[in-house]
Amino acid sequence: MTWNSTMGLISTLALILPVILVLTLRLGRYKAFPALITYYFLLFTYNLMTEGYIKADDDIIFYWGLANNLLDAPLMILFLSYFSTSLVFTKNLRLLIALFVAFEIAVLSIKGINTEAITIILGPGILIVFSLGLYFFIKQTKIAITHRKATGKALICAALLFAYGCYAIVYLIYYVFKAHIEESGKISQEYVADTFLVYFFVTTLSSLLMCVGIVVERKRIQKLNELKVTRKELSTIYTDTKTAAPVRTAMLDFDKELWN
């Protein structure tokens, strides 16, 4: 078993961990988490195919990979809407998804289904996800440091930022500069193998960091749910009771916590 095949197996197993974790922690239907599950499941299945653990025709592998590339940015942008703190920003992200899908359709219509089209589509997609990931990472890290909360969100953003930062470098080297193609026009298999090794390594680390973030975030969500229940109970208690202070004060102001 070669080093590449070993890392391929490890990264494949790492990709399914966030899916298992989200489902185990009952976050499968929570807000934007279905997008995250879909993203990791598609990559997990594609890795199984390319590494030979699932026997499939070359056409099936090709179109599955195509679907991965086309859905990558839309799914990630949809998931990143989880970190939005306003309805306006969320609507803007959904509009961005619609515009990006239109962009993909336009590129495929003009260029056809080929490497050139995928190269054109992947670049802006990686840039958008990386930029949003950086924005939310800075925002959530400030909250985590200042208010000692939203640590899970900061870790999730860190996982995405690390992954897409590395993917951007791989994209530039492999797709833009085409460093794997020698002067004679022959593809360097050794260089391709090294590129995949980097991809496997990045995927493994980012998936594990994502898992840590999900676990921490689940604890925060559970705490917020408990606060909601307490708030509802207090609201019922004080409905027919006259208090010196407003009901809002008696229930405590958890609104900001619910957004972060």
Tokens representing 236 are: 């019922």
* 80 touches 74 (CB < 8 A): no
121: closest CA among 104, 99, 97? 104
The whole-angstrom separation of Cα 40 and Cα 246 is: 47
Beta-carbon contacts of 32 under 8 Å, excluding residues fewer than 6 positions away, are 78, 79, 80, 81, 82
User: Is the predicted pLDDT of residue 214 greater than 90, yes or no?
Assistant: yes
Tokens representing 50 are: 């390319």
Q: How many residues does the chain have?
A: 260
Distances in Å between the alpha carbon of 248 and those of 179, 243, 244, 245?
62, 11, 12, 8
Residue 128, pLDDT score: 97
3-class secondary structure, 181? strand
User: Is the predicted pLDDT of residue 256 greater than 50, yes or no?
Assistant: no
49: confidence class by pLDDT, cuts 50, 70, 90: very high
Q: Which of 34-43, 172-181, 192-201 has the highest mean pLDDT?
A: 34-43
* 26 touches 222 (CB < 8 A): no
pTM metric for this prediction: 0.86
User: Is the predicted pLDDT of residue 35 greater than 70, yes or no?
Assistant: yes
1: confidence class by pLDDT, cuts 50, 70, 90: low
Tokens representing 49 are: 């195919």
User: Is the predicted pLDDT of residue 158 greater than 80, yes or no?
Assistant: yes
Residue 4, pLDDT score: 81
Q: What is the mean pLDDT of residues 34-49?
A: 95
With 0-12 CB in 10 A as exposed, 13-18 as middle and 19+ as buried, what is 73?
A: buried
Residue 195, pLDDT score: 83
Least confident of 71-80, 159-168, 223-232: 223-232
The whole-angstrom separation of Cα 218 and Cα 85 is: 18
User: Is the predicted pLDDT of residue 51 greater than 90, yes or no?
Assistant: no
User: Is the predicted pLDDT of residue 146 greater than 70, yes or no?
Assistant: yes
User: Is the predicted pLDDT of residue 60 greater than 70, yes or no?
Assistant: yes
Domains of the chain: 3-221 (1.20.1070)
Burial per residue of 232-259, b for 16 or more beta-carbon CB atoms within 10 angstroms, e otherwise: eeeeeeeeeeeeeeeeeeebeeeeeeee
Task: Write down the mean pLDDT value for the chain.
Answer: 87
Cβ atoms within 10 Å, residue 43: 19
131: closest CA among 100, 175, 88? 100
